[in-house]
Structure 1
Amino acid sequence: MARPRRSESTREALIQAGITQLSAYGYHGSGIKQILDEVNVPKGSFYNFFGSKDAFVAELIDVYSQNLINQIVQFIKQDETELNTLDKLKAITLFSINTFEKSKFSNSCLIATISTDIDDKQPLSLAMLNQSIERCQKLFTLLFKQAQDEGLIRLDIMAEQLAKIYWSTWQGSLIRMRISKNKTDAQNCMMQLLALL
């Protein structure tokens, strides 16, 4: 009975180490060996858990995006009575920017980091990346719709389109912060975007 638990623990450790590595260095900048060395797992064991690097990264994206959505949902529930929906969107954005700054702009959003170097040579990762982006945009669509219902956000653009604009601007802001090592431009850009919406 101990063996399956150990195997599951090893698998989870590989996933967490993979998320950390790829969030910092991207798909092509992260080697399986780096991740295995961090977790102290022999190379042959990796393929007991994952069929390929592409399959591994697809799972990382899935786990990361589910965790991201859960964190946002928990954040929203936590401030349910204190903030209106527009203020929740601002708070989520500022919290995320400050979290990135605390990592000295090295450990970004996994989705933003690998979006720049995943292509059709990694079909599983690409499919999961698109699926994860859609899941995140659905959550933000609900938030923008709620803000519209509260009279806080413009009605001439559909909530789904507002979510896409927000998400694309957010991903671009993360990449810009990663390059500039400064949060000011990204913070101003995101707050101005929410003010315009």
Structure 2
Amino acid sequence: MKRKIHREDIVKTGLDLMFLNGYHHTGVKEITDSIDIPKGSFYNHFSSKEEFGLAVLQHYCDNGVQFHEKGLLQSKESPLTRMKAFYKGMIKGYVKDLDFKLGCVMGNFSQELGDTNERFRQVLDDEFNKCEHIIVQCLNEAKQSKEIDNNIDTKSMGAFILNSWHGALVRMKSTANGKPLDDFYNLIFTQILV
């Protein structure tokens, strides 16, 4: 009896492989072999590798946006406390669980595809903007509660935090240690947002 192949199972398997190996270094055969399905089953769900890659990226981004919302907007802690805990938790994950590897699919795909594939670039830009907006919302709450200086331009600061975090992730992978993440945290939370 044939087992039913769900689109979500293929996407999750592809995400794991593309996170580890990148988009260009992950083939359809590798995906289908990994989930033990024939290629035809893959193409029943996706017309091309590009469509599949976009589904993988959207799945990751949807989870990432929810993660940002939960960590930065849905806690009863003060806004700045939420933000500190959010980044401390991610740093701990990269140190303890990931051994300074992988980074972020959005960052990885930006480097690999952002300047060569317009469809990926647009999704990435839209999703980064969503994350930035959540950071800005948290900063606005921090400003209203007088946790941060009233003169801080929260829109510019939100962009700076997002961009600095992703730069720190790239540097983390090249140094194979957590210093870039610690530098990010210390600069933002002990020198800028004080």
- Do both share a fold (TM > 0.5)? yes
**CA deviations over 1:100-125 (Å, ceiling 9, x no partner):** 22122233211111111114542322
The aligned runs of 1:97-176 (5 Å cut-off) are: 97-101=91-95, 102-119=97-114, 121-176=116-171
Question: Residues 22 and 113 of structure 1 are in contact (CA less than 8 Å); yes or no, is this contact kept in structure 2?
Answer: no
**Superposed displacement of residue 153, structure 1:** 2.1
Question: Residues 58 and 126 of structure 1 are in contact (CA less than 8 Å); yes or no, is this contact kept in structure 2?
Answer: no
Q: Distance in 2 between matches of 1:176 and 1:36?
A: 33
Q: Distance in 1 between matches of 2:17 and 2:101?
A: 10
Question: Residues 23 and 109 of structure 2 are in contact (CA less than 8 Å); yes or no, is this contact kept in structure 1?
Answer: yes
Question: Residues 169 and 180 of structure 2 are in contact (CA less than 8 Å); yes or no, is this contact kept in structure 1?
Answer: no
My pick for the range that moved more, 96-105 or 26-35, is 26-35
Q: Distance in 1 between matches of 2:149 and 2:178?
A: 27
Instruction: From 63, 69, 82, give the equivalent of 2:65.
Output: 69
Is the partner of 1:117 in helix, strand or coil? helix
Determine the structure 2 residue equivalent to 1:194.
Answer: 189
Give ranges in structure 1 of 5+ residues lacking alignment.
none
Question: Residues 161 and 188 of structure 2 are in contact (CA less than 8 Å); yes or no, is this contact kept in structure 1?
Answer: yes
Question: Residues 85 and 146 of structure 1 are in contact (CA less than 8 Å); yes or no, is this contact kept in structure 2?
Answer: yes
Instruction: Detail structure 1 runs of 4+ shifted over 6 Å in the superposition.
Output: none
**CA deviations over 1:106-156 (Å, ceiling 9, x no partner):** 332111111111145423222111111111111111111111111122333
Question: Residues 72 and 135 of structure 2 are in contact (CA less than 8 Å); yes or no, is this contact kept in structure 1?
Answer: no
C-alpha RMSD of matched pairs (Å): 2.2
Question: Residues 54 and 122 of structure 1 are in contact (CA less than 8 Å); yes or no, is this contact kept in structure 2?
Answer: no
Aligned-residue identity in percent:
24
Determine the structure 2 residue equivalent to 1:36.
Answer: 32
Question: Aligned pair count?
Answer: 190
Residues 1:77 and 1:86: Cα distance change in structure 2 (over 3 Å):
closer
**Superposed displacement of residue 77, structure 1:** 6.4
Residue identity matched to 1:130: D
Q: TM-score, normalised by structure 1?
A: 0.86
**Superposed displacement of residue 33, structure 1:** 2.3
Is the partner of 2:174 in helix, strand or coil? helix
Residues 1:123 and 1:89: Cα distance change in structure 2 (over 3 Å):
same
Residues 1:106 and 1:43: Cα distance change in structure 2 (over 3 Å):
farther
Question: Residues 108 and 174 of structure 1 are in contact (CA less than 8 Å); yes or no, is this contact kept in structure 2?
Answer: yes
Residues 1:161 and 1:77: Cα distance change in structure 2 (over 3 Å):
closer
My pick for the range that moved more, 49-58 or 28-37, is 28-37
Residue identity matched to 2:118: P
Residue identity matched to 1:118: L
Question: Residues 55 and 125 of structure 1 are in contact (CA less than 8 Å); yes or no, is this contact kept in structure 2?
Answer: no
Is the partner of 1:116 in helix, strand or coil? helix
Q: Do residues 20 (structure 1) and 16 (structure 2) align?
A: yes
